[in-house]
Structure 1
Amino acid sequence: MNLMDQYGILMHNSGMHNSGVGGTGLPGGDATKPSQYSSVAMSEQLIIEHLKHCRDLTRGFAYRVFPNFWREWCKQILEIAEQAKSNKDQVALYEIQNLLSAVQQAAEQEFCQHLANGFVKFKNKSLNTLTGEERFSGDILSLVEHSDLEETIAITSITHRADNFFAENLWALQQRLALLNDGEKIDERTNPASPVQFCEALRRVLTNLDVDVKTKIIGYKLFDQDVVGMLGELYNELNDYLIRQNLLPNLRFVVAHDKPESLREDAIQDDPSEQHHAEASTQQQAVDAQQHQRRASDKLLNGALNPNDIQYQNSLLNAIRLLQTHVTQMMPAIQANAAAQPAPTAAVPQTPPAQLQVYTSPQLVNVLDQMQAQALHASQQALADQETAAPAVIPVQSAAEVSRQMMRQIASENENGAVEAGDMQTIDLVGMLFEYMLSDDHLPDSVKALLSYLHTPFLKIAFIDKGFFEQPEHPARVLLNSLAEAGVRWVSNDGSDQYDIFTKIKTTVFRLLHEFKNDVRIFAELLIEFNGYTNNVARRQELMERRALEKAQGEEKLREAKLQVNHEVRSRTDNRDMPSAILLLLLQPWSDYLSFVLLRYGDKSESWARALRVIDDLLWSLEPKTTQQDKVKHMELQDDLLSSLERGFETIGYEQAKGRKLLDAVASLQRMALLSRKAEPAPAPMRTKLELLAAEKAGHVVAQQHPVSPEEAKLVDSLKMVEFGTWFEFDGGKRLKVAWYNKKTQHYMLVDQQGRKVSLAGGLQLARDMIAGRARIIAGSTKPFFERALENIYHNLNERADHLKTGAAS
């Protein structure tokens, strides 16, 4: 039975009535407010027709992108097979590649059918696609297969990124689809074209394939790139179609601030008195959003998270706890006292022998109180011993040492003291958090050293406040994010810092070590104080950076003009014999005049066209004239040409004596041309010198003097993808940020940590510095520190579970 037949049956049995488009179920809808669309009720048949068309667009998109994804997957498996270390692995990979190639057509058909079925379920109001992460909670964690966990995390990551990236298009599509759903609100689970539907369709296809989880993960990565990454095309097609059908054609996406949830998705339309204000507000918000996106680290300081961030971090935490349980179960049972164990990962059984005395959470907090006092004394002593030195010399407190110290403290208090497995996992998790912090390339060494002394108070709050790990917006977590991001932004590895940020971080750390007893409100107080300080600093830096940016953009606009002028002149003079005086005229004063005209009037103006015609006429006038017709034309042109040159010189304030000398030379050369005589060309060395000077003035002489190697060319292309806000670290630890990139001149505006412009670096020079080891990119991320840490912990635990599984099998 085809999909249209299914629609017919569903419609016959659904018992649904015709509904108006403007029902009260619409997000932000107002039942009392008339709308030009609510007066027309859509028939059941019209709704079906719209859904069929949307289904066909979705299925057509899938047929376009799926084959390329599948071929790339096969290609990558083949490349991995060719690099396999053993014949056994190579044969297994070849078999997988052959299997994937053989089932491509069937997989494509099944994939598209799953997507089409989603529209049937949507009309039947039974579509509710989950990512799978909902299974990873509560008591069933230990029952979940490791392969399912891997696949679920992959799908969750893909959908999380896609929902954020396509937020505007998805929001608009869901508002319009709601009109085809009796006005009921649509979300990613009930939207038949949402990213999760595509991921679920692939998951169902892969369920029937006998491939290992590593192969699947490779597939999901390519699927994210080649299918999900292209969904913008589909959403544009779907929205365009629904707009043509008069379904909310004036919908506007507005980012709401501090509004109730029920008001955050209002559609701005219909009311002419509000339209102008809404459009202006939308434009301003778009500018603000662009500024916010341009500085990746800026938005991390405010601690704000959207629901998708919270859901994603919670799923990561659940997956980590599952993996911790798996790792513990795969390790040999440990019968000895937990205090005697060399590493914190060794937990005692949950039901300890009678002779062991398991420490309660309050007892563990008391142990940590003593350790916190020791950490405060140790950090203060270290700084006191190094008062005159750079901040980077404070010694780092090892994460593993903190855990061992805790075990030793318990053993010194009670030789039979023990820690139960659940608490041991908490100790482990906090330890891995700080291990990641110490290995994070984002953080300067001096900040890592300071923050390492927060290990003990953060371990303590994990026992005092069970919501610490469960709540991504917990003040302690947001404070750690803010401290880390401020360190990245305003402290360098060369020991320098801006706006006394290092001192502020140090003060915050010491206050926490000194004042945190059992009252978690200290974290909120310190967070408000620290973020208030950094927000003021950020505003000052923003102002300075904006001024530097405006100045740099003005300089670059002039440089762009000079590049265009140099191109226009050289395109007319290259491969052509030229007298010295004419070369000098065109490459210097007339190029300056062309730059003036281009900047003032633009390259579409008549003034620009006239200025270029002067060059063409001048060059023609210097050619020997052999016919009477050309001589007559020459005589008619000569006076106007000389007048145009003279006016151009006057416009740019060119020195009169030099200008007169050049005009006399032009007149003399023109007389030679009338006598059918050819002027003597400029000597090669002089011509080369003049052209190099002009090229240098235009800003691209470096590329001419130093040929670009293939490696350099490849890196220059890669640098074009660098986002604004990316940090570079140069020799000595100095950090500079890319505040702006000019595509035309390929110049990067680099600012220091105060927002002051340091240089306009060429892409080629940056590439050469990176190849020579004089510069490196600090891997950028728009994610908060804590989220990056959870992802790192998950991957490390995942690798550990794989190694243990391999070891057990062997």
Structure 2
Amino acid sequence: MKDAIEPSRIVNLNQHPNAPERGGDLLHAVRDTSSRRLQQLLGNMFEHVDDALFDLAEKAENNAAQMHYFDGMREVRKRRPAVERSYLAQFSRELTDFAAQRRKPPVEAETLGAVELTLVADNELEESLAITSMISKNESRLARDLFAVNQRLAVICGGIQVSEVTSPVGPAVLTQAFRQAMRELQADMRVKLIIYKLFDRYVLSGMEELYGELNDLLAKAGVLPNLRHEHARGAVARTASAPRAQAVGEDHPAAASSATDEAGNILTTLQALFTARRGHGVGSSSVTLGPQSIPTANELLGALSVLQGQIVSHGLPAIGESGAGDISAEVAHLKDHLLNQIGALRGERPSHVSSIDEDTIDLVGMLFEFILEDRNLPPQMQVLLARLQIPYLKAAILDRKLFAHRQHPARRLLDSLADAAKGWSEESDKDRRLYDKIKSVVEQLLNEFDDDMGIFDRLLGELQEFQDLARKRAELAEQRVAESTRGREKLEQARRRAAREILDRIDGKPLPPLMHGVLARAWANYLVLILLRQGDDSPEFAEALRFVNELVASTRLPKDANGRETLRQMLPNIERALRKGLANVAFQEHDVERLLDQLRSHYAGQLGEAPATAPREVVTPAIPESIQSLVENVPDTAPLTPEDTAEQLEILPPEMRAQLEQVQAMRPGIWLEFKPAEGAPERAKLSWISPMSGRYLFVNRRGLKVGDYSPQELAATLAEGRASVLASNALFDRAMDAIVGKLSQPATTTEQE
């Protein structure tokens, strides 16, 4: 039975005396019902956009990202009516064109995703991936109800063929219509992708109810009233799975698992891209073989196990051995090695594998080519991880969800290995603890992995436990480094503040050497001590500054009787404050008395009295510099204000401006690779940004300090190529983005050959 329709119960609208009018009325009813429901769903979706963007803005990693989300919220509020109008108008046009049979042919529509992806720019590629993913997932989920709607639409439109792609109420048309409507929105692509997710959650998820309404409406009007959904669902399932079954054979273990919703996201796009490239002759075989000649899954796994054993017998390279060229060649030629090995096992070398297995082999090969080129990994680690190509190809054949599901244990293990390896350097791993751990994981996969996928979970758990212990040790060291740096900066800031307070009160006028010495050393130290212990808003600090005022004033009194009288009244307070302050900075009692004797002698001279004792050498250590030079010798620990930053950006050359903006967007946790003029490169993590000076503190994976830089110094280091920022997202995500980008490019002549 080709369909699920009972012929005796079909109402043939073409035989109805008013068939065109009858069909038109029903289509109007379909339009009205659909528009009403879509308007409700779209309104509900937009009600949730503000909350979603606000939550993301609160969690944004930097101010720039936060502003993107806030700007997006404002743009959505402003343009929402236009988007809604455009969407409903686009839907109405689609339905009108469908009724007039002006829709594009099904083949062209079905290949839209693959063809379009080869032509779009980076932003549109992200958008296309989101669209492709939504359409694929919802076509699978809604297949049963949509099939019934499509059959009934076909009847009222004169028997035209209606598929998931051409249906005016199908996920493909509805989603593409929303994409067109989104052109009304001038928002960042990150904001648009969030809106697409909400469209999936709040609009496409409500399609069951719409299809139910439409099926009830048309069935009550006499259009296929007894259509049985069960057979229809089976027909759709058979149609969807037919190409895969032909490609892999009935006994392929991955056929069922690869049809899950998880595999429908990135895999759908990748398979479309691989298919498009094969259609253009890229990597395709000119030999057509019968199904019996295509290697089975067991043959592929058996041959891979033999190749895996050969790697084990040769052993892994040591730290000092590069071997990158040899391993790169092995990665590139694995397909040939695999076919040769199958030929050795069966006595006849096949020259072809099934399409899905070829895609899987190519995809894993491209993943490991990416690993060998990924500058986020040290070369020694690239070589080590590249040895995992065969175990991961086996895992991908056993379970296709590896590439689609972020939480897949095999994927998480490779991401964790790469994350651990990112911060590795010989200098930070002198005991080889991390290198040996990663090597141990690689060796266990090569030695033990056959077909038990549980090994990935077990090794992931062991690696995470190792990393947790290392992280705790590193955090303690980091904390000590940060505290030490913070203490030094507080001291430098206090020294500068003390010197400036003294300079302000001297006001550029000369002081007697004795007073200069007291203020520049003894009293400056006392001010620093108060700033560190009590702070600048304490009574002690105010009292200490009063002493500076009085001491300076005592040297500038008029030489008349009033001046001498004022000085006599000031001296007891000066002597009392000086004695107290010097005691706090650990002056010995006899040194304090000697200094006070010198002051008394100096003031006796000012008062025209004979000195009580003969003048002595100044007790405070003599300093060749002035207090002004003391200020200049203390590093400026004041962070740049936004006004300072804006002013600096204006005067910087464009390349430096971009680097400084990049530095200002950095947050603790990001890794950089520093390349000194001499010696090996060093990888370091941004551990702490000083709130006082704005300096950036970097540590290695053991928490030991590598260096600290002002924003300007770090920007210059980046601009000169002496440092580079390492990616913070997961290895697998980076690889998938790179692979999709590579496959989306037009094929080169070399590839086609």
Does the TM-score normalized on the shorter chain lie above 0.5? Answer: yes
Equivalent of residue 790 in structure 1, options 725, 728, 736:
736
1:542–1:755 Cα contact (<8 Å) kept: yes
Give the aligned partner of residue 400 of structure 1: 332
Q: How does 1:735-774 map to 2 (within 5 A)?
A: 735-763=683-711, 766-767=714-715, 769-770=717-718, 773=721
For 2:284 and 2:362, the matched residues in 1 are separated by 10
**2:377–2:421 contact (8 Å) kept in structure 1:** yes
Q: 1:319 and 2:269 equivalent? A: yes
Q: Which residue of 1 aligns with 2:416?
A: 482
How do 1:604-753 residues align onto structure 2 when only pairs under 5 Å count?
604-625=537-558, 632-655=565-588, 659=592, 663=596, 688=625, 691-693=628-630, 695-697=632-634, 710=652, 718-730=662-674, 731=676, 732-753=680-701
User: How many angstroms apart in 2 are the aligned matches of 1:505 and 1:154?
Assistant: 33
Matches of 1:756 and 1:114 in 2, distance apart?
A: 56
Task: Report the residue type matching 1:376 in the other structure.
Answer: V
Partners in 1 of 2:128 and 2:291 — Cα distance?
45
Give the match for residue 425 of structure 1: 359
Q: Which runs of 5+ in 1 are unaligned?
A: 1-12, 15-47, 74-106, 121-138, 160-198, 210-215, 229-309, 333-344, 384-388, 676-684
8 Å contact from structure 1 (residues 724, 741) kept in 2: yes
Q: Deviations over 1:256-298 (max 9, x none)?
A: xxxxxxxxxxxxxxxxxxxxxxxxxxxxxxxxxxxxxxxxxxx
**Residues 637 and 692, structure 2, Cα contact 8 Å, conserved in 1:** no
Q: Secondary structure at the match of 1:418?
A: coil
Change (3 A) 1:207 1:751: closer
2:390 match: 456
**Counterpart in 2 of 1:778?**
725
1:371 aligns to 2:301 (yes or no) = no
- Structure 1 counterpart of 2:474, from 541, 566, 587: 541
Aligned-residue CA RMSD in angstroms? 5.0
Counting matched residue pairs gives 530
1:132-171 CA-partner distances (Å, limit 9, x unpaired): xxxxxxx987442437896675459999xxxxxxxxxxxx
Unpaired segments ≥5 residues, structure 2: 1-35, 38-43, 58-63, 89-107, 132-174, 196-259, 609-621, 641-647
Following the alignment from structure 1 to structure 2, what is the Cα–Cα distance between the partners of residues 361 and 539? 44
> Could you tell me whether the CA contact under 8 Å between 1:749 and 1:757 is conserved in 2?
yes
Q: Is the 8 A contact 1:739 1:751 kept in 2?
A: yes
Change over 3 Å in CA distance of 1:772–1:627 after alignment to 2: farther
CA contact (8 A) 2:303 2:338 kept: yes
Q: After the TM superposition, which residues 482-521 of structure 1 pair with which residues of structure 2 at under 5 Å, given as runs?
A: 482-489=416-423, 491-492=424-425, 496-497=429-430, 500-521=433-454
TM (normalized to structure 2)?
Answer: 0.59
| Aligned-residue offset at 1:463 | 0.8
Separation in 2, partners of 1:313, 1:687: 76
CA distance in 2, matches of 1:655, 1:772: 53
Partner SS for 1:604: coil
Answer whether contact 1:580 1:687 (CA < 8 A) is retained. no
Distance 1:148 1:440, change over 3 A: closer
Q: Residue type matched to 1:406 in 2?
A: L
State how far apart, in whole Å, the 2-side matches of 1:735 and 1:580 are.
Answer: 51
For the 8 Å contact 2:523–2:582, the answer to whether it is kept is yes
Distance of 2:696 and 2:636 partners within structure 1: 13
For the residues of structure 2 that align with 1:516 and 1:552, how far apart are their CA atoms? Answer: 48
- In structure 2, the CA distance between the partners of 1:598 and 1:469, relative to structure 1 (3 Å rule), is same
- SS of the equivalent of 1:650 reads helix
Identity %: 24
Note the C-alpha offset of 1:523. 1.8
**In 1, distance between residues paired with 2:261 and 2:626?**
64
Distance (whole Å) between structure 1 residues aligned to residue 332 and residue 269 of structure 2: 23
Q: How does 1:117-196 map to 2 (within 5 A)?
A: 142-144=111-113, 145-146=116-117, 154=126
Kept in 2: contact 1:625–1:673 (CA 8 A): no
Give distance in 2, aligned partners of 1:466 and 1:223: 30
Contact 2:377 2:422 in 1 (8 A): yes
Aligned partners of 2:190, 2:740: CA distance in 1, in Å?
21
TM-score with structure 1 setting the length? 0.55
Tell me how far apart the structure 2 counterparts of residues 579 and 158 of structure 1 sit (CA, whole Å).
Answer: 77
Question: Residue in 1 aligned with 2:614?
Answer: none
Q: Any idea what SS the aligned residue of 1:487 has? A: helix
- Displacement after TM superposition at 1:327 (Å): 3.2
On the 8 A contact 1:493/1:733 being kept in 2, the answer is no
Quote the offset at 1:604 in angstroms: 1.8
Q: Verify the 8 A CA contact 1:559 1:745 in the aligned structure 2.
A: no
Question: Cα 1:788–1:582, aligned 2, differ >3 Å: closer, same or farther?
Answer: farther
1:458: how far off? Answer: 0.5
2:564–2:607 CA contact under 8 A, matched in 1:
yes
What one-letter code is carried by the residue in structure 2 that aligns with 1:319?
T
Q: Distance in 2 between matches of 1:662 and 1:409?
A: 94
* In structure 2, distance between residues paired with 1:400 and 1:115: 47
